[in-house]
Structure 1
C-alpha cells in the first residue's frame, strides 16, 4: 500500500529551503543533459530538486540510483535525468515543473516503445516530486513550485512502472498524496521538520534525504521482484 513515510513530520519557509539547496551546492544551478537510455531491464528516471547539482541530483538522485544498483543485482539498470530548468519559475507557461512533466512523460513513452520489456522506477525530489506527481496524474498545482498537469504516462505503460520514490514532496504540505493506481507502488518520505512537504521550519531537514536512499532502494527492489511484474 501507499507508504507516506515520515521520519513524518508554511510557504515562505519552503522557498527558504529551496535557497538552502542552492547554497549547499555552492549556488550552482545544474542543467541535466538528456540522454537516450539503452534497453536495460530497468530505467531509473530522476527529476532533481530546485537548483540541485549532480548527474541525477547530488542530494537524492545520485545516492538513490547508486543504492538501487546495489540492491537490484539481477537486472541491468540505466538512468535518465529529467531535462527541465528546476528553477523557481512559477510564472511562465509552462513553468519549470510543467516542463519537467512533459519531458518525463516523453522519455518514458519513447523508451517503452523502443524497449518493450523495460521497467521504470520514477524518482522525484522536492520540485522533482511535483514533476513525478503530475506525470502519474496527481496535480501539483497549488504546491510550492508546482503546476497543472500537462502530460501523463499512458495507461498502457502504467503497469511497467515498478516503483515511484518521492522525497520532500510539496503536495503533502497542501494535504495531498499519491492516490489511485500508483499508490501501492509509491514510497513518499517527508523528513521531520521539513517545511516543503510538512509544517516544519527546519530547512536542513529538506537536505537530508540521502539518508533514505537505502530504504527507498529496498522498496523499489521489492516492487521489481513482485509477482505483479510483467516478465
Structure 2
C-alpha cells in the first residue's frame, strides 16, 4: 500500500486545524464536569478543533453517551492541552492532564467509572495514557504518564476516532483492547496509510450513536 509522506500528513493535519477553526460554534452546548457522577466522559479534542469538548466529535459523542446511559448521571471533562501543531509537547501535555484527571477523580469518587474519548491528536493523548505509545505517529509523542493498573477496571470504554497510530501499524492491544472501539474512515490519511481523503477525517460525528452504544455495552 502506498504510504503518504509525513510532510503531506502534517499538511493534512494543518488543513484540518484550519478547517475546523473556521467552523462556527454558535449553539454548541458546553458540557461541564460534575463531581462524583456515575460515569465521567473525558474527551481529548482534535487538532485545532473548536468547542468545549470538540465540535466535530467530542460534543456529539458525549451527548450520545449521556442520552444512551440515562438515567445514570454522566459528566464530561475537557482534557487541558494545546491540541495544536505549534506546541512540540502538545500530546505530552494532554497525556499528563488526562492521567492526572483520572487519578484525581478516581480518588474523590470511588464509585465513578470512565469513558475516554480521543479524536485525531486527541486519540494520541488517550493512546499514551493507556500505555500505547504514539511516538512516531503524526502529532504523536512519547508516553509521559499512564493510568495506574489498579484503576484500569474503572475505565469502562475507550472511543477513538481517526487515530494516528493506526497509520504506522499500531493499535490498542492488551488490557484495554476489548474495551476499545477505534474508528478509521476509509481514505482518512491521518489513520490509514496511503489515505488521500482528508474529508474522511472530518465525518466521525456520524458515528456518535454507534460509539455510545458500544460504551453502554461496556458500562453494563
TM-score normalised by structure 1 residue count:
0.86
Q: Alpha-carbon deviation of 1:108?
A: 0.4
The question of 1:102 aligning with 2:96 is answered yes
How far did 1:116 drift?
A: 0.1
The alpha-carbon deviation at position 128 of structure 1 amounts to 0.2
- Structure 1 partner of 2:74: 77
| 1:129 matched residue in structure 2 | 123
Select the residue among 203, 208, 211 that pairs with 2:206: 211
Relative to total residues, which structure has the larger helix share, 1 or 2? 2
Q: Does the 8 Å CA contact 1:13/1:203 hold for their aligned counterparts?
A: no
Structure 1: give runs of 5+ residues left out of the alignment: 1-9, 226-231
Give 1:223's aligned residue: 218
Instruction: Report the Cα offset of residue 90 of structure 1.
Output: 6.2
- Report how far residue 178 of structure 1 moved: 0.3
Match of 1:154 in 2: 148
State the distance in 1 between where 2:136 and 2:17 align.
22
May I ask how many residue pairs the two structures share in their alignment?
A: 210
Q: Report Cα offsets for 1:50-97 as digits up to 9, x if no partner.
A: 010011001110000011011111310000000000011464xxx100
- d(CA) in 2 for partners of 1:27 and 1:118? 36
Residue 180 of structure 1 is matched in structure 2 by 174
Distance 1:25 1:49 in 2: 9
State the partner residue of 1:229: none
Is the counterpart of residue 60 in structure 1 residue 57 in structure 2?
Answer: yes
Unmatched tracts of structure 2, length 5 or more: none
- For residues 110-152 of structure 1, the C-alpha deviation after alignment (integer angstroms, 9 at most, x for no partner) is 0000000000000000000000000000000000000000000
Aligned Cα RMSD in Å? 1.8
Equivalent-residue separation in structure 1 for 2:8 and 2:79 (angstroms):
26
TM-score normalised to the size of structure 2?
0.91
Q: State whether residues 118 and 126 of structure 2, in contact with CA within 8 Å, keep that contact through their aligned partners in structure 1.
A: yes
**What is the aligned counterpart of 2:38 among 35, 38, 41?**
41
